[in-house]
């Protein structure tokens, strides 16, 4: 146990326990009562449908979005040494992840349903969001391998810190300090940081998958040890079901491994439907998400005409918003495009005024048509006194030709 091949099992190899390597075969195995001690192992993918980002996705993951915290490296937010010197980035992040901001997914509720039916031996989770607890999974059935926000303590004297004060500090983005006997040490949730040991409960239960008759692995990359080795502790012949976006670890290398790749919540619903639990699961999901239930009740109490009017109003609002944005964009674009033209006109007018003033200084007669061409100073000096007034009169009576500005320069 603990190590196994990563080579996929040959398709011609028959399963030892299941009737087939399919989701329906796993559902039959549960429905027929063969699975009475189910172990679950879950990761961040379990909670992404709740709106919580996972850690390692290149563009949407938590680590990829921590640049705004000015960290020396993304993982520093969970580094105990860095926390001791600068705890503020962690508490900025904690404000967004703290329990109460998110609701359990259908997959969390499925784990609760297994517990309610007495089939859950243990849930091992890497998640720190406490959504399993929010779904109603009993605390004694959960091993939070990387800790969670459920408890907190001083990192110096290890004294517990009150839940209400912790919630208050996080809501205000403040760094809590120990209030026990004037300690004043930094307080942090019982989340396992880099440089800290895993909880004792994990080590005491690490071999428990060996007693399971079914393992379900959901939403994990299985890259972080020692959690990643948990599936390998399952006995040979015990079915292992993976619900994940991709194949991970050594799963798929045994004859009774079943891989259901794709959307996790969709896979859970398929499993529940095949067992015959879907209606019960959806009811449980609604009870864990009052907002969803309220929305459904509102829809049920609305007539067809009311819903149609709401939809028309929404479409109208969307169109109005789009038009407003388009108008604002067009106005800004027009201003941007007209700016060079205004600057060119202003420059030309300035040059005109300079020429006009020069003409006055040299004694060149001016007329109300100062915006039109006038002779330059050098021109007037070349003419004799008798012809000067006559020439200036001719020039000031001329009109600009198409393609010329008042200053006699091409504008196009």
Please identify every residue annotated as catalytic: 146
Question: Would you state the structure tokens that stand for residue 35, as one six-digit string?
Answer: 């699975």
CA atoms of 137 and 46, how far apart (whole Å): 14
Peptide bond just before 7 cis, omega within 30 deg: no
By three-state DSSP, how is residue 180 classified? coil
Left if phi > 0, otherwise alpha if psi is -120 to 50, otherwise beta: which for 365? Answer: beta
Angle, CA of 121, 278 and 104, to the nearest 5°: 65
Please count the other Cβ atoms lying within 10 Å of the Cβ belonging to residue 208: 16
According to DSSP, the residues that pair with 261 across neighbouring strands are 244
CA atoms of 206 and 221, how far apart (whole Å): 18
Backbone angles phi, psi at 181, to 5 degrees: 50, 40
CB 75 within 8 A of CB 235: no
Distances (CA, A) of 31 to 87, 112, 208, 256: 49, 17, 23, 17
Q: Can you give the C-alpha Rg of the chain in angstroms?
A: 37
């Amino acid at each position: 146990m603990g190590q196994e091949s990563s080579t996929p099992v040959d398709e011609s190899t028959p399963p030892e326990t299941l009737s087939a390597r399919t989701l329906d075969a796993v559902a039959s195995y549960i429905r027929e009562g063969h699975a009475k001690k189910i172990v679950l192992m879950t990761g961040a993918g379990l909670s992404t449908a709740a709106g919580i980002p996972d850690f390692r996705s290149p563009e949407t993951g938590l680590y990829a979005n921590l640049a705004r915290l000015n960290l020396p490296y993304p993982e520093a937010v969970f580094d105990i040494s860095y926390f001791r010197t600068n705890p503020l980035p962690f508490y900025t992040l904690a404000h967004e992840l703290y329990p109460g901001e998110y609701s359990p997914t259908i997959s969390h509720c499925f784990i609760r349903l297994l517990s309610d039916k007495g089939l859950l031996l243990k849930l091992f989770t890497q998640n720190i969001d406490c959504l399993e607890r929010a779904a109603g999974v009993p605390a004694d059935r959960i091993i939070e391998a990387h800790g969670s926000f459920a408890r907190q303590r001083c990192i110096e004297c290890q004294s517990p810190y009150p839940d209400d004060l912790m919630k208050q500090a996080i809501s205000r983005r403040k760094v809590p300090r120990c209030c026990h006997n004037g300690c004043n040490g930094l307080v942090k949730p019982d989340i396992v940081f880099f440089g800290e040991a895993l909880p004792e409960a994990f080590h005491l239960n690490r071999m428990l998958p060996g007693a399971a008759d079914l393992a379900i692995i959901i939403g994990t990359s299985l890259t972080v040890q020692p959690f990643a080795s948990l599936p390998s502790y399952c006995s040979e012949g015990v079915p292992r079901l993976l619900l994940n976006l991709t194949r991970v670890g050594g799963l798929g290398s045994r004859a009774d491994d079943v891989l259901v790749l794709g959307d996790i919540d969709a896979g859970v619903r398929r499993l529940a439907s095949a067992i015959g639990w879907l209606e019960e699961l959806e009811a449980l999901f609604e009870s864990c998400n009052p907002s969803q239930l309220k929305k459904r009740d509102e829809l049920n109490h609305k007539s067809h005409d009311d819903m149609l009017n709401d939809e028309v109003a929404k479409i109208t609002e969307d169109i109005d918003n789009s038009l407003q944005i388009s108008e604002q964009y067009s106005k800004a674009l027009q201003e941007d495009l007209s700016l060079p033209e205004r600057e060119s006109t202003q420059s030309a007018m300035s040059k005109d005024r300079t020429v006009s003033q020069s003409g006055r200084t040299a004694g060149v007669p001016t007329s109300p048509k100062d915006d039109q061409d006038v002779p330059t100073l050098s021109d007037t000096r070349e003419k004799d006194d008798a012809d000067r007034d006559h020439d200036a009169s001719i020039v000031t009576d001329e009109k600009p030709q198409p393609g010329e500005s008042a200053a006699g320069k091409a504008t196009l």
